Chains A and B, each alone.
Chain A
Amino acid sequence: MERKPLLSVTLAIVLLVAALVFSTGCSKSESSAKNNHKTLYLYNWTYYTPESVIEKFEQEYDVKVVIDYFASNEDMFAKLKAGGSGYDIVFPSQDYTAIMMSEKMLLPIDKSKIPNLQYISPLVLQKATYDPDMAWSVPYYMGAAGIAVNKKKVAQYERNWSIFADKRLEGRMSMLDDMREVLGDALVHLGYSVNSTNAQELAQAKKLINEQWKPNLVKFDAEAFAKSFASGEFWVVQGYAESVFEELDSSRWKDVDFFLPPEGGPMYLDSMVIPKGAKNIDLAHQFIDFIHRPEIYAEFLDRFHFPASVHTEAAKYTTTKPFYNVEDLNNYELKNDLGADLEKYNDIWQSIRYVN
């Protein structure tokens, strides 16, 4: 029985190493947080905050910016609702902006402190029916999920949603694991609104997905589809341009056709809001104003190859070609909050997702 001490020594070493790793990790973040007196706390989507812009803001205002990330509106909302506070700016999409307004979770925007609001496109505000005067939210970016095709593997294909009905691509395609996106695409493809709550229209959309699209899909994937697309596993994916291209070396971008189907689809408008409990309200206003400086906003667009969908001046300063154009969004429709009617979508989505 001489083995047992050896075993505990091994275990002790493992624990010690683990402890060391953790402690160094902690001390690092602590020391860097002490450097500045004021800190702005942002809560934004992953892949959505341009580092260079943040650095410029930190330098100009002599502050520190701390960013936390969320992967879905629901995650963000659940965290704030469960009492997560201390954020100065949060970036929800239109439906959740509306929900947060009606749940009285936001502080009003003082427009006099944000002169750059003059650059916000009036067309966007027209679509933001829940807050057309920017009393509670300032648009950050408006876009839509599209389809990415690996041109090396697929030569001929239709550039619209019916690509998912193409039998030749069976087992090589994925759609987002997101009921509003997938059902919205099907609804639009059938000529209805992405916000339809009509039972017959929804039943048709369900039939289209279950009978025509789903048999050809490998899976519904919102987590790893971009990686699988980059590895050549998936040839056609529905998803966000920034996720798709972020996984690919720019030398391979020419092999990818990213397009927004012309018949339209669901669209999102992410806004900057100041939640109740924010500590640096003035600084938050300054940040919103800073982001919408035309040359700064252009830097944000360049970083992610976005089109200038919410900003009227920034396009003059951008240096890169966006992955899609503002005009491509013409037929796209904002996903509204459906309130209690969400249940109808849930039922249909369950029959799509849970049943073989």
Chain B
Amino acid sequence: MNNLQQEKRGRRLGITYSAPMGIWLTLFFLIPLSIIILYSFLKKGLYGGVEWEFTLTAYKQMLNPNFMRVFWRTLWVATFATVITILLALPCGYAMARSRHQVFWLGMVIIPFWTNSLIRIYAWIAILSSEGFVNETLRTLGIIKESLPLIYNQGAVITVLIYMYIPFAILPLFTTIDKFDFQLLEAARDLGASKPESIVKVLMPNIRGGIVTAVIFTFIPIFGAYTVPLLVGGKDSYMIGNIIVDQVTKTRNWPLASAFSLIITLVSTLGVIWMMATAANESARRKTPVKVVDSSGGSE
């Protein structure tokens, strides 16, 4: 068999292998996304749905200062929660990677997923409310007299969001740290670096890919959060996800809901592009330049 034939066969096989994924993405991602894009440029129907008339009304409505405020709030909450999540997840991932009981710790990270997320949010209500676990304990110990306002505010939203998404940050961090050659840390210390220095200068650059993945896995779902602000948030905790649901179910403005969904999709896409760019950078640093050209072909 000559090279050309082999190459042809490989290409055919490649199509066969990628077909299921391609069909899946087309059916359940590209087509729905096209509908959302289309709807965002149409006129809203009086009772929901759309009328077939091109208009930019939805995007003009989106610039309303009330919506902008919710947008900035969403961005702020998502960024803040993501930073805290990563800072907490890094030592967790490190400890897990160095532990002799990895399966046990992995189990501990995964077990919360056995319980429905709504039930876990209601559990948080039971923990944080004025008559809840924390306040009752503090009262019994005589530390406080009046209940602390722990729930129905921005702090509660951020706390619960961190709790919900921290496993998504720990898992990618764990996998990258697990692959890291810890002898490098010893080498660094032999060469005179202090312990923190060796972590920042040797470990961190080597697990950059894991950190980026963790950031994206937490930031994107938090950016689109709906139930957490709805249930543990207060009167001023609305996020973009809540607006989208309101526009579909209450105010019957599907084009505006579509426009807002597009914003979330756009933010996610930018995140993924950033992730891919970091991955490409990394392989560029490690491998020969020739290989980098190869990797750009397999993006879809």
Contact = CB atoms under 8 A, between A and B. Distances in A.
B149 A351 contact: no
Nearest to A339: B46
A232 interface: yes
Nearest to B102: A3
A276 interface: no
Interface string A328-345: 000000000001101000
Interface in B251-266: 251-253
Interface in A2-47: 3, 6-7, 10, 14
Contacts of B234: 218-219
Contacts, number: 83
A233 B67 contact: no
B152 A218 contact: yes
Interface in B238-270: 238, 243, 248-253
Contacts of B253: 346
Kindly name the residue among B129, B152, B237 whose own CB sees the greatest number of chain A CB atoms within 10 A. B152
Contacts of A223: 230-231
A219 B70 CA distance: 16
B179 to A, nearest CB: 11
Contacts of B103: 3, 6-7, 10
B49 A355 contact: no
A339 B130 CA distance: 42
A103 B235 contact: no
B36 to A, nearest CB: 15
B211 interface: no
Nearest to B126: A231
Interface string B110-137: 1000000000001001100111100000
Given A7-B103, A219-B152, A233-B131, A75 B249 contact: yes
A224 B125 contact: yes
B175 to A, nearest CB: 11
A353 interface: yes
B117 to A, nearest CB: 15
B47 A10 contact: no
A74 B252 contact: yes
A171 interface: yes
A74 B106 CA distance: 42
A101 to B, nearest CB: 12
A356 interface: yes
A197 interface: no
A232 B250 CA distance: 29
Contacts of A219: 152, 233-235, 237
A126 interface: no
A355 B46 contact: no
Nearest to A75: B249
B186 interface: no
Given A3-B103, A218-B152, A342-B251, A354 B131 contact: no
Contacts of A278: none
Contact of A355 (B69, B102, B122): B69
A349 B265 CA distance: 26
Contacts of B230: 223
A351 B235 contact: no
Contact of B236 (A103, A342, A356): A356
A339 B67 CA distance: 23
Contacts of A354: 66-67, 69-70, 238, 243
Contact of B235 (A14, A179, A218, A231): A218
B107 A81 contact: no
Nearest to A11: B110
Contact of A81 (B49, B129, B243): B49
A103 B107 CA distance: 54
Nearest to A172: B130
Interface in B88-103: 102-103
Contacts of A75: 249
Given A6-B103, A218-B235, A354-B66, A77 B131 contact: no
A232 B131 contact: yes
Q: Which 10 A-B pairs have the closest CB atoms?
A: A74-B249, A354-B66, A356-B236, A233-B129, A350-B66, A232-B131, A219-B235, A346-B251, A218-B152, A219-B234
Interface of A: 3, 6-7, 10, 14, 72, 74-75, 77-78, 81, 99, 103, 171, 179, 214, 217-220, 223-224, 227-228, 231-233, 339-340, 342, 346, 350-351, 353-356
Interface of B: 46-49, 64, 66-67, 69-70, 102-103, 106-107, 110, 122, 125-126, 129-132, 149, 151-152, 230-231, 233-238, 243, 248-253
Given A6-B103, A223-B230, A224-B122, 5 more contacts: A74-B249, A171-B149, A219-B234, A354-B67, A355-B66
24 contacts: A3-B103, A7-B103, A7-B106, A10-B106, A14-B110, A72-B250, A74-B248, A75-B249, A77-B47, A78-B248, A81-B47, A81-B49, A103-B47, A217-B235, A218-B234, A219-B237, A227-B122, A228-B129, A232-B131, A233-B129, A350-B66, A353-B238, A354-B67, A356-B236
